[in-house]
Amino acid sequence: MTTSGSIIRVQNLHKWFGELHVLKGIDLEVKAGEKVCIMGPSGSGKSTLLRCLNFLEEPSKGIVFLDDLPVGYIEDADGKRRRDTESNINRMRARMGVVFQSFNLWTHMTASANIVEAPIHVNGLSRQAANEKALSLLRLVGLEDKKDAYPAQLSGGQQQRIAIARALAMDPEIMLFDEPTSALDPELVGEVLAVMSELARGGMTMIVVTHDMGFASAVADRIVFMDHGQVVEEGPPSTFFQQPKNERTIQFLAKMTSRPF
Amino acid sequence: MTLEWQYVAHALPFLLEGTLITVEVSLLAVALGLLVGILVVLGRQSRFKILRALIIAYISIVRGTPLFIQILIVYYALPALGLDIPRFESGVIALSLNSGAYISEMIRGGLMAIPKGQLDAARAFGMRSGLIWRRITLPQVLVLILPPLTMEFTGLLKSSALLSVIGLVELTRRAQQVIGETLRSPEVWLATAALYFIMCFALGTVTRRLEKAAAAYRL
Ligand SMILES: Nc1ncnc2c1ncn2[C@@H]1O[C@H](COP(=O)(O)OP(=O)(O)OP(=O)(O)O)[C@@H](O)[C@H]1O
Ligand SMILES: [Mg+2]
């Protein structure tokens, strides 16, 4: 096995939903501390790619490596692979924090209960340690006063910040964001992006599916542009936004910049 | 004919004894029914085709036959198979098997109302499927089905009167006994009806409060 120094390595990833070929051979590498933004039109397979990274979707072909270990599979000495055990898959998943477009907080639990749930029941943290951690994370996202609030009592922006705190509570090695601000009213987008920028400054490895060009230019080391299940262009924000080469990238960016906001 | 209530005053302690049995049998039946309902829902998701087929057969049989007959079958047919079950236990088994079939359908409905994203989130954080059931799914489903579950419980309280047919001395059977001694049927039946009504009314009040408290998170 070669050590590549990358946290995430995606190799020739394919995904079919029945007849629908959604991912058509994705290759992607993300190094520790790197921030990668994924852009692309609706239906291009961005969410599916993210869900394959932590095996929420099982790849049809190809493979994802987390720290050079295959996610969801065990490789025999002769390179044959079979499905990993449920508990090993769960252990892999616990190392990646996920933030969803629709927050997906557990609505029957308070903000702090949401945050301590997985650390206690998956990582085996003591309740007291988990509570202390939750408190410091609530402070980080600016919501200490909301620790006993239920999700239904919070604004979208507040819910998403709690969702970020919940993911961070697992001490993830990498954070995956799937359009974290797309479901928010425009005036609430800023508070969530501020938390994410803060996280980026702290050195977190991040993969962010986003349409926010401001955030992507400011934070991303690299932009990956997807269309029809393929990576069609990739590069640092400066070249990506100012000198896009691919025809589809140019069209997409033109459409983005002509939108009202 | 005039109603003579002193007979009821005399009979009341006996009727209350029967009421206690009615409450016990219904409480046990709804609790076991809930357990059966949960197991049935889990069983229907099983990989084993035979188990799934058996469960579907069980649900159709319960829904397609009178409860009255189901009670008679549990009490008279099971002993023929070598299972000798006392009256009280027979009653609880018959009612909870009946109830479990209906409660499983409620749970299935409740499951569909839980946003898939919440389960994705739980899986993404490495939670095992059993843990997800216990911590995320079930608590929310129980709150969702509380209103129909209350109706089921009220229904059970009333249906338990049918257990008088197998000789279980619950409220209705007690009333029959009291009438046998006093020969005052109208007063005793009215008093019996009043006792059933009070039980159902009290249950309604308690569960309305419970529903409100349990659903605080839904605003
Ligand atoms: N579970 C599924 N079953 C069937 N088809 C699916 C499933 N999930 C996604 N798809 C299809 O796969 C394609 C890619 O979906 P995906 O959600 O990955 O796109 P996306 O790039 O995230 O789009 P958006 O910007 O709208 O979120 C779409 O055509 C979608 O309908
Ligand atoms: Mg998407």
**pLDDT tens digit string along A60-93?**
999 999 998 999 998 777 778 889 999 999 999 9
pLDDT at position A2: 52
CA atoms of A10 and A224, how far apart (whole Å): 13
B130–A contact, CB cutoff 8 A: no
Say whether pLDDT at B17 is over 70. yes
Q: CB distance from B38 to chain A under 8 Å? A: no
Backbone angles phi, psi at A32, to 5 degrees: -55, 130
Per CATH, the number for B6-218 is 1.10.3720.10
pLDDT by 10-residue block (mean), chain A, 261 residues: 78 96 96 96 96 95 93 83 91 96 96 97 96 96 95 96 97 97 93 96 97 94 96 94 90 80 49
Question: Is the pLDDT score of B215 beyond 90?
Answer: no
For residue B212, what pLDDT is reported?
Answer: 83
Q: What is the pLDDT of residue B134?
A: 94
Q: In degrees, to the nearest 5, what angle opens at C-alpha B50 toward C-alphas B48 and B51?
A: 70
Torsions phi, psi of B4, nearest 5?
-115, 105
How remote is the C-alpha of A93 from its chain's centroid? Answer: 12
Beta strands in A131-173 (DSSP E): none
B-contacting residues of A 170-199, CB under 8 Å? 170
Q: What is the pLDDT of residues B157-191, one digit of tens each?
A: 999 999 999 999 999 999 999 888 877 788 889 99
| Pocket flag, ligand 1, residue A205 (CB < 6 Å) | no
The Cα–Cα gap between A29 and A179 comes to 20
- Band of pLDDT at residue B83, cut at 50, 70 and 90: confident
Per-residue pLDDT tens over the stretch B27-57? 999 999 999 999 999 999 889 999 999 999 9
Burial A189-211 (b: 16+ CB within 10 A, else e): bebbbebbeebbeeebbbbbbbb
- pTM score, two decimals? 0.89
The Cα–Cα gap between A192 and B161 comes to: 60
Would the CB of A47 count as within 6 Å of ligand 1? yes
pLDDT given for residue B7 in this prediction? 77
Q: What are the structural domain ranges in chain B?
A: 6-218
pLDDT over 60 (residue B109) = yes
Structure tokens at B119: 């389960």
ipTM > 0.90 for the complex: yes
Q: Where are the beta strands (DSSP E) in A71-218?
A: 73-75, 81-83, 96-99, 174-178, 205-209
Residues around ion ligand 2, judged by CB within 5 A, are: A 47
pLDDT, tens digit, for every residue of B186-212?
888 999 999 999 999 999 898 888 888
How far, in Å, CA of B75 to CA of B13, rounded?
A: 28
CB A210 within 8 A of CB A181: yes
Tell me if residue A22 falls in helix, strand or coil.
strand
In the three-class reduction of DSSP (H, G, I as helix; E, B as strand; rest coil), residue A206 is classed as strand
pLDDT at position A220 is 96
Q: Is the CB of A210 under 6 A from ligand 1?
A: no
Q: Which of B117, B139, B217 sits opposite A104 (nearest CB)?
A: B117
Rounded to whole angstroms, how far apart are CA atoms B164 and B187?
Answer: 19
- Selected residue of B118, B119, B125 to mutate for chain A interface (largest A Cβ count, 10 A): B125
- Tokens read off for B28: 């046990």
Instruction: Report pLDDT for B184.
Output: 78
More confident residue, B85 or A136: A136
| Residue B84: band (very low, low, confident or very high) from pLDDT cuts 50, 70, 90 | confident
What does the alpha-carbon distance between residue A195 and residue A201 come to, in Å, rounded to a whole number?
A: 10
User: Is residue A44 within 6 Å of ligand 1 at its C-beta?
Assistant: yes
Is A118 within 8 Å of chain B by CB? yes
User: Of all residues in chain B, what percent carry a pLDDT higher than 90?
Assistant: 73
Q: Is A205:A212 a contact under the CB 8 Å cutoff?
A: no
pLDDT value of position A208: 98
Interface contact A71, partner B, CB < 8 A = no
Contact residues, B window 132-161, toward A, CB-based 8 Å cutoff: 135-136, 139-140, 143
Instruction: Using an 8 Å CB-CB cutoff, list chain A residues near B118.
Output: 104-107
